[in-house]
Amino acid sequence: MKKSDFYYSLPEHLIAQKPLPERDASRLLHLDAANGYLSDRRFAHFIDLIDADDLLVFNDTKVIPARLYGRKTTGGQVEILIERITGTHRAIAHIRASKAPKAGTVIDLDANLNCQVLGREGDLFSVQFDGEDSVPAILERIGHIPLPPYITRADDATDLTRYQTVFAQHAGAVAAPTAGLHFNQAMLDKLEAKGVQKTFVTLHVGSGTFQPVRVEDLASHDMHKEYYAVSAATALAVQQARARGGRVIAVGTTAVRALESASKSGAISQGFGDTDLFITPGYLFKSVDALLTNFHLPESTLLMLVAAFAGYDALMDAYRHAIEQEYRFFSYGDAMFLTR
């Protein structure tokens, strides 16, 4: 398939700029891909679609305040988005400036801090922060929540908690695993009371998730890498769910990428490292039976993954329905529940 096969026109007013007052107040579009059946629901009723034998798999990554603002010593404004922390004082980052900074450029930050550009790392830059504070400490002190590019407002205090899942544990993501944002503790408690088991994977979502596919031929796309970890306990939980006839339900495309990356041999096993798994229609899923996800950008790798899961025609029909019914799209938007 080609990139243009995944284009759709989205009215700008359907892009959610802020979260709803309550996490579970969003809408939920249910797509039974086996027969193309669509149902408009509320996320609060998600529990009704889950059976006691099922296993929910969440991504417990934690978003770091990865965006920094500064100035070059020459006065030019600079925006830094940390992509990955590589050492106590070093990181790989996107840098937005009027001109790409050269090695040796010093960037003045807030709170009398600064960092130095060490050189290029492909499309990114290697930077080193001066002073005694570690990179995580600096980000906690002066960093901003890295809202996605389609959210046009500045981050505010509400984003510190709402652009973070209630079960976030392991810091390292620069974008939220957004399907998990719909869950509050009350919903998790209801699922537990029903007997539904849950487990966790970690996949540190990188900014590459927002990068456009630049080639028409998908086979030529260079997929970004993200760190993932699937524990032996999670692999066992997946195997046990299958054995008892339950479904493995991934909460988010990031959970899918982690589970499927740990299942390359055909059966899931413990695994970790960088994954560049690119899932497109025709992919044979090995570990995931159902998927909860948000609505994704046109021509994005995430939309391609969901089309591989639900079937291209069924998914694109569902997106047309969602637009007609004015669902809220993207990170702070509504959700979909899909069965293969």
Spell out the per-residue pLDDT of the chain, length 340, in tens.
Answer: 999 999 999 999 999 999 999 999 999 999 998 888 999 999 999 999 999 999 999 999 999 999 999 999 888 999 999 999 999 999 999 999 999 999 999 999 999 999 999 999 988 999 999 989 999 999 999 999 999 999 999 999 999 999 999 999 999 999 999 999 999 999 999 999 999 999 999 999 998 888 899 999 999 999 999 999 999 999 999 999 999 999 999 999 999 999 999 999 999 999 999 999 999 999 999 999 999 999 999 999 999 999 999 999 999 999 999 999 999 999 999 999 999 8
CATH classification number, 3-63+160-339, choose in 3.40.50.720, 3.40.1780.10, 1.10.3720.10, 3.30.450.40: 3.40.1780.10
Tell me the C-alpha distance between 34 and 330, whole Å: 25
Tokens standing for 296?
């994704």
**318 and 31 Cβ atoms separated by less than 8 Å:** yes
pTM for the predicted model, two decimal places: 0.96
Could you give the angle at the alpha carbon of 160 between the alpha carbons of 155 and 164, nearest 5°? 115
CA atoms within 13 A on the CB side of 177: 35
Fold for domain 67-142?
Thrombin, subunit H (2.40.10)
**Taking the domains of the chain in order of start, what are their residue ranges?**
3-63+160-339, 67-142
Give the SS3 label for residue 190.
helix
Place of tokens 């490292």: 273
Helix (H) or strand (E) segment spanning residue 132: none
Bridge partners of 55, per DSSP, are 197, 248
